[in-house]
Amino acid sequence: MTQIVVLPHPTYCPDGAVLDVTKGVSVCDALLEHDIDIEHACEKSCACTTCHVIVREGFASLGEIDDKEEDLLDMAWGLEAQSRLSCQAIVGEEDLVVEIPKYTINHASENHPK
């Protein structure tokens, strides 16, 4: 099992969390399976930026970012060098520390609390 430490987020995970997850699952699926209801407006099809996360530790273990994800990330709020779309970031052997950004750009869910 790989561990994902989720840093506190005022809406999605106020106290933070430590998740034990199976290698090969996406970070998005891991969060959702542990009741951290991160936005994923495109239903995890790599067509939006609502599941954007910042990988504070373990970034290199997630593999290469393809051109489509990279292009989408350019539109994400709060983009950093360690940003990934959680639907595309596949958990490997290395433990991760993940931060969910304070805001998302989600035109489909204007009333969703951020």
Q: What 3 state SS string does 4-49 have?
A: EEECCECCCECCCEEEEECCCCEHHHHHHHCCCCCCCCCCCCCCCC
* Assigned domain for 106 exists: no
Give the neighbor-by-neighbor strand order of the sheet with 96-99: 17-21, 2-6, 96-99, 52-57, 83-85
Domain span including residue 63: 2-99
Judge whether 37 lies within some domain.
Answer: yes
Instruction: Specify the number of domains making up the chain.
Output: 1
Average pLDDT score over residue span 47-72: 94
User: Tell me, what's the pLDDT at 41?
Assistant: 84
53-68 mean pLDDT: 94
Task: Give the model's pLDDT for residue 26.
Answer: 96
**Which of residues 106 and 22 earns the better pLDDT score?**
22
| Residue 111 pLDDT class (50, 70, 90 cuts) | very low
Mean pLDDT, residues 72-89 taken together? 94
User: Residues 82-108: pLDDT tens digits?
Assistant: 999 999 999 999 999 999 998 776 644
Domain for residue 22, yes or no?
Answer: yes
Write the CATH number for 25. Answer: 3.10.20.30
